[in-house]
Amino acid sequence: MTQYFNYIDAQWTKASSGNVFESRNPANYEELLGQFQASTEADARDALEAAHRAFPMWKKTPMGQRAKILNAAADYLEKNVDQFAEELTREEGKLLSNSKMEIMRSAQTFRFYAVEGTTFTGETYPCDDPGMLVYSQREPLGVVSVITPWNFPISIPARKIAPALITGNTVVFKPSSDTPLIALRLAEALHHAGVPKGVFNFITGSASDIGAELTTNEVVRAITFTGSTRAGERIHQAASLTTRTQMELGGKNPMIVLDDADIDTAVDLTVQGGFALTGQACTGTSRVLITAGAKERYLDALVQRIKSIKIGNGMGAGVEIGPLANQRQLDSVLNYIDIGKTEATHVYGGEHLTGPGFDGGYYVQPAVFTDVTQQMRIAREEIFGPVIAVIDVEDYDDAIAKANDTEFGLSAALITNDIRYIQRFPLEIEAGTVKVNRTTTGNLVNAPFGGLKRSSTSTFRESGRAGLDFYTQIKTVYIGR
């Protein structure tokens, strides 16, 4: 069995605990992908100190040289896309086609920031004193802790690490313990690209062992975290005054379907937004708010569509939905399906699939509930699985009120061709990503991404040019003669 190592100060090292943990295939949990280091607080400290030591040198490294390393890392990901995509599917469970897209997107993100970072700068300011030059300049922060979830285990790290490095910060990256292998491939890409000693460090281990060190050590100037609202809030509250935080958290994303909507489109968008990635996207469609004129036709068509969905191993041809990512996910999703059955009207699905083709994996059939009301847990809590709660609404205004009646504000969609509502929707919906006639899921590498309310710290956006802001601080300079 292959054992993989931490990458600290340009050395592939074992954890000081001497212990390892395993990564397994959620489509077949007998299959072991590898053993990874169960790191300790001392290992985390070593990684942070290496990053701290490397910072003054990296800060001064010419932008073109930093960009070259990012591009070389992108080359490495692209060159190995077939192998890495297979590993991603075997480790996380998503479809092979989605894994390929994710690897290519990660490479694209590195290339995007290699260019965008070189044009990111301050401003000059007009001044009444003709003898004075006034301008602002952007500087890196220092050591950045990058902490990420398992659901997009390489593209989310890429969209944090690339802007952090191009702007001159040094990084300690801790991936989810459910997906350490594909995260390690990203570390390998930077290593092969020639990232200097200490500039980028990779460490695996449990949040309880290394989380506090990575987030409260005094050298950490910024924490960029994607994960659950519960964990993100705790980290944010424990961070010191001199540590900047960026928390991208959970969602309970609504899709509003009005009477005039094309029902086939609404069903397709539900399947893509709610069930693709087995419902495990932070922007996944979770609530469908629908008017009476569309509801029955929509429910009938949705159930027919679910019956035809091919569920199975993400490596298989024609498979549309893979397994859930781990046992915790399976237990949690099945628990919510049970809750739904007691609270609401169960329309279809939700079985734990076993038997030929499913044994050894965490498979569940997509589930639909109707007559869901605002107080129900399946209407309020993030399920993070293929479960749709259908909520009756009287009209557009009622839909907006109910869609906004949530602590989350990540993504939202409206399905209609009525221009009156299309224009009002972006103004009235409380969500960081707003879609019309598209799924709640999906965002561009070159556009900002982030949530409102308890879906995000709302301080800084990720992704796009805006994604560079978080990693720089502004100094204002006055030069007289």
Q: Which residues bind ligand NAD (CB under 6 A)?
A: 147-152, 174, 176-177, 207, 211, 214-215, 226-228, 231, 234-235, 248-251, 282, 382, 384, 410, 451, 455
What count of other Cβ atoms lies within 10 Å of the Cβ of residue 1? 8
DSSP for 348-407 reads E--PBP-STTTTTS--B--EEEES--TTSHHHHS---SSEEEEEEESSHHHHHHHHHSSS
248 is known as an active-site residue: yes
Of 282, 343, 430, 462, the catalytic one is 282
233 is catalytic: no
Alpha carbon separation from 106 to 16, 65, 69 (Å, rounded): 31, 20, 14
Residue 105's contacts (CB-CB under 8 Å, 6 or more residues apart) are: 155, 158, 445
Least distance in angstroms from the C-beta of 101 to ligand NAD: 16
Q: How far is the CB of 466 from ligand NAD (least distance, A)?
A: 14
Nearer to ligand NAD by Cβ, of 280 and 313: the residue is 280
CB of 284 to ligand NAD, least distance (A): 8
Annotated active-site residue in 49, 102, 213, 248: 248
- Minimum Å gap between C-beta 207 and ligand NAD is 3
Q: Structure tokens of 174?
A: 């801790």
* Closer residue to ligand NAD (CB): 174 or 402: 174
Closest CA to 299 of 329, 251, 330, 344: 344
Here the tokens at position 451 are 């949530």
Angle at 282 between CA 170 and CA 240, to 5 degrees: 40
The residues near 35 (Cβ < 8 Å, ≥ 6 apart) are 1, 2, 3, 4, 20, 21, 22, 23
Cβ burial 246-256 (10 Å sphere, 16+ → b, else e): bbbbbbbbbbb
CA angle 90, 73, 99 (to 5 degrees): 25
SS3 (DSSP) at 335: helix
Show Cβ contacts of residue 419 under 8 Å, excluding neighbours closer than 6 positions. Answer: none
**Closest approach of Cβ 251 to ligand NAD, in Å?**
5
For the annotated catalytic residues, the residue numbers are 248, 282
